[in-house]
């Protein structure tokens, strides 16, 4: 057991830390277009260093980093409060799926523009009537000559208005069992048949979009992983690149907890026993989440199979982030309810944490069924 | 970064698991608990294997291994709620090893390591230690608070048996006579942090077993025509148990590792581990009782031994609340307002 970084890992972290310190682009500018340009520029900087495709094999322009290195990267970026690269979905989902399931032609065509942020990717999975029960999705694709004609509706599509490609899962065989009749496509967003509408959320902003698809065309060569294999391909997408996320989430809530302690001091409640107990409980849960991530990574690197602890960090992160923002607002009393406070924004935004990327309830189902081997509900 | 046991530690874990499983079968645990006694031959066997002094330096008759190895043994013994004076002896040994003077170490540690002169340790509050495991059979008793400690022989104290809810162990109230005993030679903090860690490790094993009992029952028990584990009200309860057991385990292993390899981290790590484990132990075993329903409330079901051990362990050497207060004080929240 050694919870320190090896000399190589430490060298990697130091190199990263120095580079981020020297190249950090500062605060994200206000305004959608300016913020977007800022994130594109940041990704190009990352790409020049080989950090954009950190986990990708070197032959595809990546760095072939180990899981531990990916976790270190996530932790360091969170610690430095570095912006997220523009094409995050292409980097963490699209690229790895093309590498795992794509044809030689698809790898040649799609990978480099993902890394350089020349072509932005979005994800078309969820639908208005298919959230947690993703496999029930209804968007249909019908073969017509050597192309597919797609009609349906998608929701919660991040970056759709900037995207060139959409990772689209659609039903190609309505008669097959629901998990078997799906196909994974790369859909060109630049066509009239695809309409993007921003989706305003409780914070007032619109991070996500709805997609209205009316007889959009997708050439047959844009199927990834074969017709009817969409569920399997989509699941590997969701499982990809989780490695760095637990560690990054741990680092980011730790920073937020530092700010909460600062707030408690400013407001003179740092000696209140109830506040102290609550903050300590959050600090401990955050540490447990970080340790569970590292323990999970060690298991994957040793055995190839994630241990039970690897299933926990996402739901722990949601709990901690909701808990700490709730406490920050409570400490501020009536003043904490003003719309112009950053804590209030984070407090509202945190409500999504237990829904996005798998609801806490679905994650508990997964733990119950796959880790604890309890009988399935359905 | 390698958050897993070494090959040697894995071997210790496997050996301990198998031995505990064969020596502390459910019937044996129940028989000893109901009779409120130990089987001396089992203690003899465990001591013979070097478990009692696994962390004691070799020149004093121990194995010279570390906190990680001690935590492994405590977890495995906790998994069976083994009726043994192991934890008390280890706590006294850690106090003497890490806070004792040279003469104190040389006098007491060989007996603790061989298991022949057992030790016991407890927390002193207002001149009394209310709940000291195995004080009635110890040759040496170490009482501690966060400012210091005192080494006592049984004749230095009044020792009254306490009928604690946990019948898998003996407990006593210890009142040292005025001016009796010898102060510990060194700083007690490193000893207390290690003792908290080994109690946390025991709770991890106890909770793991409680969770397994609940999960097994939820798979088999049928109501309304299907296994109750298919209902989310039950399965989500079990998923929460996993979160608490694994998080208690991760923080405890971290603390044990810090004790051996990064002592500057030990105060925070041990406070976090004991705070987490103390709550997890009760939450998991009481939630397991709810999953078991009526049968879990009966004397006949073995869950009670784990539930009660978890509750007592949660209070030994600092409750969850006390350790959270330490976490707060160590994390930049100004001066502590409650005694830690």
Q: What angle do CA A298, A303, A308 make, to 5 degrees?
A: 65
Widest CA span of chain A, in angstroms? 72
Q: What is the mean pLDDT of chain B?
A: 96
Query: Are the C-beta atoms of residues B85 and B134 closer than 8 Å to each other?
Result: yes
Does the domain at B7-183 match CATH 1.10.540.10? Answer given as: yes
The answer to whether the CB of B11 falls within 8 A of the CB of B73 is no
User: Where do the structural domains in chain B lie, given as residue ranges?
Assistant: 7-183, 189-330
- What pLDDT, in 10s, does the model give residues A24-83? 999 999 888 999 999 999 999 999 999 999 999 999 999 999 889 999 999 999 999 999
* pLDDT tens, residue by residue, A312-321: 999 999 999 9
What are the φ/ψ torsions at residue A98 (nearest 5 degrees)? -65, -40
Which residues on chain A are in Cβ contact (under 8 Å) with B2?
1-2, 298
Residue B69 CA to residue B59 CA, distance in Å, equals 18
What residues are paired with B140 via a beta bridge? Answer: B119
pTM: 0.96
Say how many CA atoms lie within 13 Å of A156 toward its Cβ: 14
User: Please, are residues A42 and A48 in contact by the beta-carbon 8 Å criterion?
Assistant: no
Instruction: Tell me the nearest-neighbour CA distance from B267 into chain A, angstroms.
Output: 13
- What is the pLDDT, as a whole number, of residue A247? 84
- pLDDT score, position A28: 92
Which residues of chain A are within 8 Å of residue B327 when distances are taken between CB atoms? 280, 283-284
Chain A segment 64-123 residues within 8 A of B by beta carbon are 68
Check residue B338 and give its pLDDT.
Answer: 46
Locate B231 and state its tokens: 């209902």
DSSP state of A335: G
Query: Which residues of chain B lie closer than 8 angstroms to A324, CB-CB?
Result: none
Cβ–Cβ below 8 Å for A284 and B275: yes
Nearest-Cα residue of chain B relative to residue A283: B327
Give the per-residue pLDDT at B340: 39
pLDDT tier at A309 (50, 70, 90 boundaries)? Answer: confident
Which residues on chain A are in Cβ contact (under 8 Å) with B236?
361, 364-365, 368
Cα of B269 to nearest chain A Cα, Å = 9
Determine the distance in angstroms separating the CA of B219 from the nearest CA of chain A, rounded to an integer.
6
Q: What is the CATH number of domain B189-330?
A: 1.20.140.10
Q: Are strands A121-124 and A140-144 parallel, antiparallel or unpaired?
A: unpaired
Of A22-31, A102-111, A232-241, B144-153, minimum mean pLDDT range: A232-241
Indicate which residue of A69, A241, A285, A309 is catalytic. Answer: A241
* Gap from B338 CA to chain A (nearest CA, Å): 8
Pick B243 or A306 by higher pLDDT: B243
Beta-carbon separation of B247 and A288 below 8 A: yes
User: Residue A303: what pLDDT?
Assistant: 83
Summarize the confidence of residues B321-330 as an average pLDDT. 97
Give residue B167's pLDDT: 98
The more confident residue out of A302 and A236 is A302
Region B208-225: mean pLDDT is: 98
**CA atoms of B51 and B53, how far apart (whole Å):** 5
Overall fold of domain A7-86 = Butyryl-Coa Dehydrogenase, subunit A; domain 1 (1.10.540)
Give the tokens for residue B73. 């043994």
| Chain A residues 310-329 with a CB less than 8 Å from chain B | 311-312, 315-316
> What pLDDT is recorded for position A358?
87
**Where do the structural domains in chain A lie, given as residue ranges?**
7-86, 121-230, 242-371
Per-residue model confidence (pLDDT) at position B59: 96
A327 contact residues in B (CB cutoff 8 A) = none
What percent of chain A is modeled with pLDDT above 70?
A: 97
Q: Give me the CATH topology for the region A121-230.
A: Butyryl-CoA Dehydrogenase, subunit A; domain 2 (2.40.110)
CB contact under 8 A, A377 and B215: no
Nearest residue on chain A to B6, alpha-carbon basis:
A1
Tens of pLDDT along B93-141?
999 999 999 999 999 999 999 999 999 999 999 999 999 999 999 999 9
DSSP A116: T
| Residue pairs spanning A and B at CB distance below 8 A | 170
Q: Give the per-residue pLDDT at A308.
A: 73
In this complex, which of B239, B251, B257 lies closest to A368 when CB atoms are compared?
B239
Q: What dotted CATH number matches A242-371?
A: 1.20.140.10
Q: CA A222 → CA A176, A201, A212, B102, distances in Å?
A: 22, 32, 20, 76
Does residue B336 register a pLDDT over 60? no
ipTM: 0.97
**Residue A22 CB neighbours (<10 A):** 7
Q: What is the pLDDT of residue A244?
A: 60
C-alpha torsion angle, residues A302, A304, A310, A314 (rounded to 10): 130
Q: Is A190 a catalytic residue?
A: no
All residues of chain A having their beta carbon less than 8 Å from the beta carbon of residue B276 are 284, 288
Q: How far is A27 from chain B (nearest CA, A)?
A: 27
Residue A23 has pLDDT above 60, yes or no: yes
Q: pLDDT by residue (tens digit) across B230-280?
A: 999 999 999 999 999 999 999 999 999 999 999 999 999 999 999 999 999
**In 3D, which of B94, B87, B108, B85 has the Cα closest to residue B182?**
B108
Q: What is the pLDDT of residues A227-239, one digit of tens each?
A: 999 999 998 766 6
Q: φ and ψ at A367, to 5 degrees? A: -60, -45
**Which tens digit of pLDDT belongs to each residue from A318-335?**
999 999 999 999 999 999
CA neighbours closer than 13 Å in the CB half-sphere of residue B216: 8
- Give the 3-state secondary structure of chain B: CECCCCHHHHHHHHHHHHHHHHHCCHHHHHHHHHHCCCCHHHHHHHHHCCCCCCCCCHHHCCCCCCHHHHHHHHHHHHHCCCCCCHHHHHHHHHHHHHHCCHHHHHHHHHHHHHCCCCEEEEECECCEEEEEECHHHCCEEEEEECCEEEEECHHHEEEEECCCCCCCCCEEEEEECCCCCEECCCCCHHHHHHHHHHHHHHHHHHHHHHHHHHHHHHHHCEECCEEHHHCHHHHHHHHHHHHHHHHHHHHHHHHHHHHHHCHHHHHHHHHHHHHHHHHHHHHHHHHHHHHHHHHHHCCCCCHHHHHHHHHHHHHCCCCHHHHHHHHHHHCCCCCCCCCC
Report the chain A residue with the minimal C-alpha distance to residue B321: A277
Identify the residue with better confidence: A241 or B289: B289
């Amino acid at each position: 057991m050694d919870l320190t970084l090896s000399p190589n890992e430490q060298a990697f972290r130091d190199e990263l830390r120095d580079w981020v310190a020297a190249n950090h682009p500062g605060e994200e500018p206000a305004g959608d277009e300016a913020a977007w340009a800022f994130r594109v520029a940041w990704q190009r900087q990352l790409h020049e260093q080989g950090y954009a495709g950190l986990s990708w094999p070197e032959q595809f322009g990546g760095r072939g980093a180990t899981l531990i290195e990916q976790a270190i990267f996530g932790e360091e970026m969170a610690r430095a409060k570095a912006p997220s690269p523009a094409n995050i979905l292409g980097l963490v989902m699209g690229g790895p799926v093309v590498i795992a399931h794509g044809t030689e032609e698809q790898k040649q065509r799609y990978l480099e523009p993902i890394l350089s942020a020349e072509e932005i990717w979005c994800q078309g999975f969820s639908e208005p009537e298919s959230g947690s029960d993703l496999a029930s999705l209804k968007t249909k694709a019908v073969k017509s000559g050597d192309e597919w004609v797609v009609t349906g509706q998608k929701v919660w599509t991040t970056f759709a208005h900037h995207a060139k490609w959409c990772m689209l899962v659609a039903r190609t065989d309505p008669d097959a069992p629901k998990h078997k009749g799906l196909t994974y496509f790369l859909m060109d967003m630049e066509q009239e048949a695809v309409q993007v509408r921003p989706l305003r959320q409780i914070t007032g902003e619109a991070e996500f979009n709805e997609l209205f698809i009316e007889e959009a065309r997708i050439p047959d060569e844009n199927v990834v992983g074969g017709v009817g294999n969409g569920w399997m391909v989509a699941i590997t997408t969701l499982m990809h690149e989780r490695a760095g996320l637990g560690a990054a989430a741990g680092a980011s809530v730790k920073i937020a907890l530092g700010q909460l302690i600062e707030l408690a001091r400013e407001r003179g409640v740092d000696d209140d026993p109830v506040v102290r107990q609550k903050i300590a409980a959050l600090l401990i849960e955050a540490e447990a989440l970080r340790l569970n991530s590292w323990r999970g990574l060690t298991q994957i690197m040793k055995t190839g199979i994630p241990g039970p602890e690897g299933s926990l960090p996402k739901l722990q992160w949601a709990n901690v982030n909701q808990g700490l923002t709730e406490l920050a607002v409570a400490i501020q009393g009536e003043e904490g309810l003003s719309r112009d406070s950053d804590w209030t924004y984070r407090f509202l935004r945190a409500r999504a944490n237990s829904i996005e990327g798998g609801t806490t309830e679905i994650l508990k189902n997964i733990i119950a069924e796959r880790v604890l081997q309890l009988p399935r509900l359905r | 970064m390698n958050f897993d046991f070494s090959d040697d530690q894995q071997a210790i874990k496997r050996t301990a698991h198998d031995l505990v499983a064969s020596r502390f079968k459910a019937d044996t645990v129940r028989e000893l608990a109901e009779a409120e006694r130990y089987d001396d031959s089992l203690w003899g066997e465990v001591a013979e294997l070097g478990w009692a002094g696994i962390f004691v330096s070799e020149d004093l008759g121990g194995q010279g291994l570390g906190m990680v190895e001690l935590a492994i043994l405590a977890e495995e013994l906790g998994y069976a709620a083994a009726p043994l004076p192991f934890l008390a002896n280890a706590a006294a040994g850690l106090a003497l090893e890490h806070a004792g003077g040279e003469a104190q170490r040389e006098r007491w540690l060989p007996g603790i390591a061989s298991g022949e002169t057992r030790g016991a340790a407890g927390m002193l509050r207002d001149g009394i230690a209310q709940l000291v495991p195995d004080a009635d059979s110890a040759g040496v008793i170490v009482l501690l608070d966060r400012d210091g400690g005192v080494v006592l022989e049984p004749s230095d104290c009044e020792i009254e048996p306490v009928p604690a809810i946990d019948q898998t162990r003996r407990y006593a109230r210890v009142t040292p006579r005025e001016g009796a005993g010898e102060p510990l030679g060194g700083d007690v903090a490193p000893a207390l942090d290690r003792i908290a860690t080994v109690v946390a490790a025991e709770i991890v094993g106890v909770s793991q077993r409680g969770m397994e009992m609940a999960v097994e029952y939820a798979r088999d028990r049928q109501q309304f025509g299907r296994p109750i584990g298919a209902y989310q009200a039950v399965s989500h309860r079990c998923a929460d148990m996993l979160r608490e057991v694994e998080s208690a385990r991760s923080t405890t292993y971290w603390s044990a590792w810090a004790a051996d390899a990064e002592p500057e981290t030990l105060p925070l790590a041990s406070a976090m581990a004991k705070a987490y484990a103390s709550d997890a132990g009760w939450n998991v075993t009481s939630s397991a009782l709810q999953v078991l329903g009526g049968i879990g409330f009966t004397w006949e079901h073995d869950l009670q031994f784990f539930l009660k051990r978890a509750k007592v362990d949660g209070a030994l050497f600092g409750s969850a609340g006390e350790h959270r207060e330490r976490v707060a004080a160590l994390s930049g929240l100004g001066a502590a307002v409650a005694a830690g």
